[in-house]
Amino acid sequence: MVRFIIIRLLQTVVALIGIAMLIFVLVRVSGDPALMLASATHTAEDIQQIRVNLGLDKSIPEQFWIFVTDVVQGDLGESLFKKKPVTEMIGAALPNSLRLIVPSWAVAMLGALLLGVLGATRRDGFLDNGVKFIAILGQALPGFWVAIVAVFIFSVTWQLLPTSGLGGIDHYVLPVCTLGFFVLPGMMRLVRSSMLDVLDSEYIKLARIKGLSERRIIWKHALRNAVIAPLTVAGMLFAMLITGAVIIETVFSWPGIGFIIVEGVLARDFPLVQAIVIMVASFVLGINLLVDISYAWIDPQIRYQRT
C-alpha cells in the first residue's frame, strides 16, 4: 500500500511538471503576452519595458527555467493590476471558495447517493420518475441561468434571501444550493445506473437466497459495490465543482477564486490567471491521487494486490 502511494505520488509530480510545461507552451504559442497587455497608448519602449519585466526578452529555455523555479518556490508572479503577489490574492480568496464548495459538495453527494439509491430500488416508481425528472432538468438547465432565476425569485421577488456577497448563514443558502444542483444530477444518474447494475449481479441474487431483508441487501451488499463506479469519476466531479464555482461566484459576487479569475480575465491579468490555473491543476492531481487511494480502500482486491 505504501509502495503504491509512493508510485502514485511520483507520477503526480511528473504530471505536475508536464502540466506546467503545457501551460508555459500554450501561453507562448498562442500570443505575445506583452502585446496583449499593451493598449493603444503604449509606445514601443513601454512594450519593451513590459517584456523585460515579464522576462520575455530572455531565451525560451531560460524563460522556462525561471518559470519552473519560481513555481516550485511558490512564486507565481505579481498581479498586473492589483500590483500584489498573486499568491496573496489567492490566499485571500481560497477560503471563501472552499466555504462554498465544501458544503455544496456534501449536499450534492449525500443527495445523489440517497436519491440515486432510492431511484434504483424503486425502479420506474413514483420516486424514480421524480429522480429521473430532476436529473433531466438539472442537466438541461444552464447553472448560471438557474442561479439568476433563483436570485430573481427568492431575493428580488420574495426578498427572502440576500442577492450577493458574503455574510451570515442566509448568504450561503442560494449559492450552496445552486452549486450543489450543478453537480447533483450527473452524480445521481451515475449512482442510479451503477446501483441497477449491482442489483443485477449474482451476489445480490445469493443475498436474496439467504433470505436477507431488502434493506440489508441494498445498504449493505449493494451500496458499497455501487459507489465504486461513481468514485472513478470523482475527478470529473471536481472539474464540475470548479466550473460551477466560477459561475456561481460570479453571479453572487462571492469573493472567491472564481470571482477573481473572472475579474483577472476581463482585465487581462495574465499572471493571475496563469497562477490560478496552475493551482487548480495541482488540486486536480491531488484529487486524482486521493481517488486512487480511496479506491484501494473500498475495493479489497486492489488493496491486497498492491501491498
Partner 1 sequence: MSEIVLKVEDLHTSFFTRSGEFRAVDGVSFHVREAETFGLVGESACGKTVTGLSILRLLPEPAGKIVSGKITLDGTNILELSKKEMRAYRGAMISMILQDPMTSLNPVYTVGNQIAEPVRQHQRIQDKNMVEEKVISALRLLRIPAPERRLQDYPFQMSGGMRQRVVGSIAMSCYPRLLIADEPTTALDATIQAQYIALFKDVQKETDVAIIFITHDFGVVANMCHRVGVMYAGKIVETAATSTIFKAPRHPYTNALIHSVPRLDRKDDRLYSIEGQPPSLLNLPPGCRFAPRCPDVMDICNEQQPQEVEISEGHSVSCWKVK
Partner 2 sequence: MSDVILEGRDLKKYYPVTKGLLQRTIGWVRAIDGISFTIERGKTLSLVGESGAGKTTAAKAVLLLERLTSGEILFEDRDIYKFSKSQMKAEYRPRVQSVQQNPWSSMNPRMRVRDIIAEPLVVNTKQTKEQIRKRVLELLEQVGLAPNQADYYPHEFSGGQRQRIAVARALALNPSLVVLDEPVSALDVSIRAQIMNLLKDLQNQFNLSYLVIAHNLATVRFMSHSVAIMYLGQIVEYGDAEELFQHPLHPYTRALISASMLTLPEDAEQGVEQIILKGEMPSPLNPPPGCRFHTRCSETQDICSKEVPEMKEYGKQHVRCHHVVYR
Partner 3 sequence: MPEKASDSETTARPVVSGLSRRARIMRRLTFIVPVTILSLMIIMAIFADLAWLGLPDVGLAPYDPVKMSLPDRLMPPFWDEEGSTEHLLGTDKMGRDILSRLIFGARISLSVSLLVILITSFVGTVLGILGGYLGGRTEAFLMRITDISLAFPPILVAMLLAVSMGPSFVTVVLAISLLGWAAYARLIRGETLRLRQMDFVAQARIIGASPLRIMLRHIFPNVINPLIIIMTLQIGLLIITEASLSFLGVGIPPPAPSWGNMINDGRNLVDTAWWISTFPGIAIALVVMSGNFFGDWLRDKLDPRLRQL
In the complex, which residues of this chain contact partner 1 (CB under 8 A)? 201-203, 205-213, 216, 221, 224-225, 298-301, 304
Q: How many CB atoms lie within 10 A of CB 92?
A: 14
SS3 content of the chain, % helix, strand, coil (to 5): 80, 0, 20
* C-alpha cell belonging to residue 74: 511558490
Q: With binding defined as CB under 8 A, does residue 7 bind partner 2?
A: yes
In the chain, what is the greatest distance between 2 CA atoms, to the nearest angstrom? 84
CB of 291 to partner 3, least distance (A): 9
* Contact in structure between 242 and 145 (CB atoms under 8 Å): no
Residues 237-266 that bind partner 3 (CB under 8 A): 238-240, 242-243, 246-247, 250-251, 261-262, 264-266
Burial 95-104 (b: 16+ CB within 10 A, else e): ebbebbbebb
Name residue 300's amino acid. P
Residue 25: contacted member of partner 2, partner 1, partner 3, none (CB under 5 to 8 Å, by partner type):
none
CB of 211 to partner 3, least distance (A): 23
Residue 102: contacted member of partner 1, partner 3, partner 2, none (CB under 5 to 8 Å, by partner type):
none
Q: With binding defined as CB under 8 A, does residue 3 bind partner 2?
A: yes
DSSP 176-237: HHHHHHHHHHHHHHHHHHHHHHHHTSHHHHHHHHTT--HHHIIIIIIHHHHTHHHHHTHHHH
User: For partner 2, which stretch binds (CB under 8 A), given 2-10, 132-140, 235-243, 276-284?
Assistant: 2-10
Read off the DSSP letter of residue 40: T
In the complex, the residues that contact partner 3 under the rule CB under 8 A are: 11, 15, 19, 23, 26-27, 30-31, 33, 36, 136-137, 139-145, 148-149, 151-152, 156-157, 190, 193-194, 196-197, 229, 233, 235-236, 238-240, 242-243, 246-247, 250-251, 261-262, 264-266, 268-270, 273-274, 276-277, 280-281, 284-285, 287-288
